[in-house]
């Protein structure tokens, strides 16, 4: 029996990829590493410091900055990002998500959030969705995806076993993290990119509690 749904944030609840890109681009311009939307795809689903390291390697400046300077750069990016996310409103929730959360509430299925973003609580508050979530796992306290830690933490906070939980992600690192946690993985996006997921829909508008549970039951019966 499924007792919990655990969501990624970016690309599943709302899309802050453009906001991350704008903040990283501003920082990149400052340190002389121009980045474009294509490169920005490599930063999807990973944490702040790992993203910074990728940018520095991309710009051949991996050894230019000290650990303290890197921490300062990451903080500068985050301050710019926080200014941008303050503009988010419920209009920025992705299609199908409000009705999905309502149905989960009606079915008394617990709802958790497993985001790489340390700003997740603020984003959920700006979207006016805080009341739906029984748990928002602290990304700063665990290893980044594709490690399973944040999904395991979310499940523990929901008091559900991993095998009783379903994770929803739009990035392959997140799908890997869900499966490493021993959960059923739902992918949102390109099936060629997310082909390792247990169930895939092209967009959040296609997410349905009934359809997901049917896919979970089928998967369970095939893997007894």
Side-by-side strand order, sheet with 165-169: 135-136, 110-113, 4-7, 165-169, 184-188, 199-201
d(CA 61, CA 64): 5
**Is the Cβ–Cβ distance between 77 and 52 less than 8 Å?**
yes
Distances (CA, A) of 190 to 129, 172, 187, 193, 216: 26, 10, 8, 5, 20
Q: Any idea how long the chain is?
A: 224
Q: Which of 10, 149, 170, 198 is catalytic?
A: 10
112 phi, psi to nearest 5 deg = -125, 165
Has 18 been annotated as catalytic? no
Residues ≥6 apart with Cβ < 8 Å to 181? 148, 151, 152, 155, 162, 165, 167
- DSSP H helical ranges for the chain: 17-31, 37-40, 48-58, 67-85, 97-106, 120-126, 149-158, 172-180, 209-222
Has 170 been annotated as catalytic? no
Residues ≥6 apart with Cβ < 8 Å to 137? 112, 113, 114, 115, 150, 151, 153, 154, 157
H/E run at residue 169: strand 165-169
- Any idea which residues carry the catalytic annotation? 8, 10
């Amino acid at each position: 029996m499924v007792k919990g749904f655990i969501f990624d944030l970016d690309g599943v609840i709302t899309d802050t990829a453009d906001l991350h890109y704008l903040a990283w681009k501003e920082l990149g311009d400052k340190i002389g590493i121009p980045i474009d939307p294509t490169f920005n795809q490599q930063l999807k689903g990973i944490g702040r410091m790992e993203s910074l390291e990728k940018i520095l390697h991309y710009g051949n400046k991996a050894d230019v900055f000290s650990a303290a300077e890197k921490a300062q750069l990451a903080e500068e990016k985050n301050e710019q990002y926080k200014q941008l996310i303050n503009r988010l409103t419920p209009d920025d929730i992705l299609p199908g998500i409000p009705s999905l959360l309502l149905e989960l509430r009606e079915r008394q299925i617990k709802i958790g959030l497993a985001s790489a973003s340390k700003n997740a609580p603020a984003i959920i508050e700006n979207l006016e969705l805080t009341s739906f979530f029984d748990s928002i796992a602290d990304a700063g306290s665990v290893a980044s995806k594709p490690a399973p830690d944040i999904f395991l933490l979310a499940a523990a906070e929901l008091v559900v076993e991993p095998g009783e939980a379903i994770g929803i992600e739009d990035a392959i690192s997140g799908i890997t993290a869900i499966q490493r946690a021993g959960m059923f993985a739902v992918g949102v996006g390109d099936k060629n990119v997310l082909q390792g997921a247990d169930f895939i829909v092209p967009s959040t508008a296609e997410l349905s509690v009934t359809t997901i549970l049917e896919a979970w039951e089928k998967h369970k019966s095939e893997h007894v």
